[in-house]
Copies of this chain bind each other. A is one copy, B any other.
């Protein structure tokens, strides 16, 4: 039993390590785009293998825990929630890599930029991620619910960004290529927010045993 508690704690800590790494990758990838910072982009790409290692480590650790300790009730929910959060974090790491690659592509072109506020949209997504992980750490259903509410704001902002980028691209053929990179950056930020929403839903399921995926009406 002692061992079991130790294993759960270890799983918890590894997830926090993973989310720390992923959040740092995201921050670097946004800087790479906004400040045209090649080193930041390269750091994200370097981080990737460590994130992938951690994902496999957490996943196989969870599986071993399920097999050897056969947890039930709240402990079982904790392990399965952890596996899901792990999966979401790994995908967020992939998205950061995609954004970093778009940054490198933009660096190979003249610095033409649509009039969009990437730091603001990135900040929204980053807040959602930080809050969803805080909700996980503190088992805080209220905070998790707040994350779900923020997702709409990101979607509205996304539409605004998209139409500004399209306008930018229509100004001149030379703006099409960078415009496409910016489109995929915006799409990446939107997907990061979606993954934060997934994590918040998993936390709610864990804390309350309530299924809130696919915007079920239980929320509110």
Contacts and interface: CB of A to CB of B under 8 A. Distances in A.
A115 interface: no
Contacts of A176: 166, 169-170, 176
Task: Report, as a range, how many residues of chain A touch the other chain.
Answer: 20 to 34
A158 interface: no
Per DSSP, chain A at the interface is helix
Contact of A66 (B55, B76, B84, B184): B76
Contact of A180 (B84, B177, B183): B183
Contact of A211 (B60, B77, B84, B177): B60
Interface of A: 49, 52, 55-56, 60, 63, 66-67, 70, 72-73, 76-77, 80, 83-84, 87, 166, 169-170, 173, 176-177, 180, 183-184, 187, 211, 213-214
